[in-house]
Amino acid sequence: MEEERDERMWPGRLRWRLRGAWTAPAFVALTLAEAVLLTRLPIAGDHGTDVLGGFLLCGFLNLTLVGLVAPLAARLRRRRRPSAAPLEVRQDRIATVAMAGLAAVLLVAGLVHRSAVSASEQAYAENLRAVRSYVVHQAPPEFRAGLGSENVWKQKDDFYRTCVPGPDPDRSLCLYVDTDGVATVTRDPDQQSNSRIAGPDNPGRQGG
């Protein structure tokens, strides 16, 4: 009798197992998708993370949801709403929904932040235009060869220190550019590069 009962219960357990087997594939797929999403739609700053950095961050967040949040939520829900579904199945469902929710939050945050990124890119381009106009019309001619190789250090919103390399690798033409409104350019008498002043952790961005 016991063997017959086990045989009858086995298909039911298998069905529950299949219904509760979404966590692993969802974890892999959503972590990869979220990592790519952070490279394309950053949620903070001017630039997205690299894929590896995004993967590590999203992997940590998803592991927290799977290993901590989902088990606690599944136990709380079982106490409040008893069900025939095994605890593992409830936990799997909650973890999958939570990871999908995280992906949705990152997408919305990226879309909301997109306008700020676009404004920053426009200010960066305006900075380069102002610097190149200054170099062509006002700077010593030996710095014209450095156009296209500018190093840009964003010091705050709409304010940049942009250095144009010259024939002497230790002396650059460095300009302060304020792009708030009509771009204004002020020459910095200090000809040290951005990386030398700001340090190797903030080397600046190469102009394109």
pLDDT tens digit sequence for 93-102: 899 999 999 9
Q: Residue 174 forms beta bridges with which residues?
A: 163, 188
Residue 68, class by beta-carbon neighbours within 10 Å (0-12 exposed, 13-18 middle, 19+ buried)?
exposed
Q: When comparing pLDDT for 36 and 20, which is higher?
A: 36
Residues 172-196 have pLDDT tens digits of 999 999 999 899 999 999 999 898 8
Q: Where are the alpha helices (DSSP H) in the chain?
A: 2-19, 23-40, 51-64, 70-80, 87-137, 194-198
If you count them, how many residues does the chain have?
Answer: 208
| Closest residue by Cα to residue 70 from 96, 94, 86, 97 | 94
pTM of model > 0.85? no
84 vs 74: which has the higher pLDDT: 74
Across the range 120-141, mean pLDDT stands at: 95
